[in-house]
Amino acid sequence: MKIAFVGLGTMGRPMARTLRAADHDVLGMDISSEMRQRFEGAIAPDASALHDVQVIMTMLPEAEHVSDVYRQTVLHGASAGALLIDCSTIDVEVARTLNNLALEKGFAQIDAPVSGGPEAAGSGGLSFMVGGDADHVARARPLLENLGKKITHFGAAGSGQAAKACHNMICGITAMAVFEGFALADALKLDATQFYELCAGAAAQSWTLENRCPIPGVVPAAPSSNGYAPGFAARLMAKDLRLAQAAAEMSGQVTPFGAEAARAFTRFSEATGGDLDFSSYFTALKQQTKTTGTD
């Protein structure tokens, strides 16, 4: 297929690369000249290139970016009957609104946020949480299968974003538990590698533990062992946890641990800029230990 991929950042670039490796004709699009230069494939010269593609995929940081791209470019420039796949993580209501706008214009459209990080994006190992019309999902499935090992259709438009909000709230809460546990283990002078090996083979095992161990040097591939370079930036974790809280408010469900995780990562991101991996939250915990003491 001929695909326009809008958003060539931490997730979008490896996803576009994976689609190219699957023999799709991929045109990259990004407002950042740096991101365009870093992309290994062809770059769309301007929005008119959307007339020549069958599929437009978006992977952008915030709901406002997705809305702007849809309203200002995609819905006016896409060819008749094009398939629109939004892989960004945005709120449920915006996802539903964009789906309605796309359907009114005669396009097929689904929300398909992802889990797995840039490593999985580059290896075709993502998990997709999908919302939209079943026929539209069926059209998108071959592409999603190039990018991911697990594609779950949850229902109508917006349900993919709903599932992502719940999923990421679990990730954020789990992350706080892992980072606080390692902070306490460090304060108690436990050997970090031994403690990691214990947890990895016991009930404390989790994806966050194995992929985001917060103490440098314990897991060589973890961001902590590489200056906390993302990975998944702390500001994006904070954003996703706020989206989960918006979904909780919309549904009337109380989520006290999710609320605390959202507050903690938001405070941390505002204080630091939030550009480092979310596992760098561990450094803030250690600074608090030094300030308040452990006696």
Render each residue's pLDDT in the chain as its tens digit; 295 residues.
999 999 999 999 999 999 999 999 999 999 999 999 999 889 998 889 999 999 999 999 999 999 999 999 999 999 999 999 999 999 999 999 999 999 999 999 999 999 988 889 999 999 999 999 999 999 999 999 999 999 999 999 999 999 999 999 999 999 999 999 999 999 999 999 999 999 999 999 999 999 999 999 999 999 999 999 998 999 999 999 999 999 999 999 999 999 999 999 999 999 999 999 999 999 999 998 665 554 4
Here the tokens at position 205 are: 């095992």
Burial of 261 (0-12, 13-18, 19+ CB in 10 A): buried
Q: Which H or E run includes 83?
A: strand 83-86
Residue 232 CA to residue 223 CA, distance in Å, equals: 9
Cβ neighbours for 63, distance < 8 A, ≥ 6 positions apart:
88, 90, 91, 94
- Compute the 3-state secondary structure of the chain and give helix, strand, coil in percent, each to the nearest 5: 55, 15, 30
Nearest 5 degrees, angle CA 93-CA 147-CA 32?
65
| DSSP assignment of 107-163 | -EEEE--EESHHHHHHHT-EEEEEES-HHHHHHHHHHHHHHEEEEEEEESTTHHHHH
* Residue bearing tokens 């576009």: 16
pTM equals 0.90
Active site residues: 164
Note if the bond before 231 is cis, omega within 30 degrees.
yes
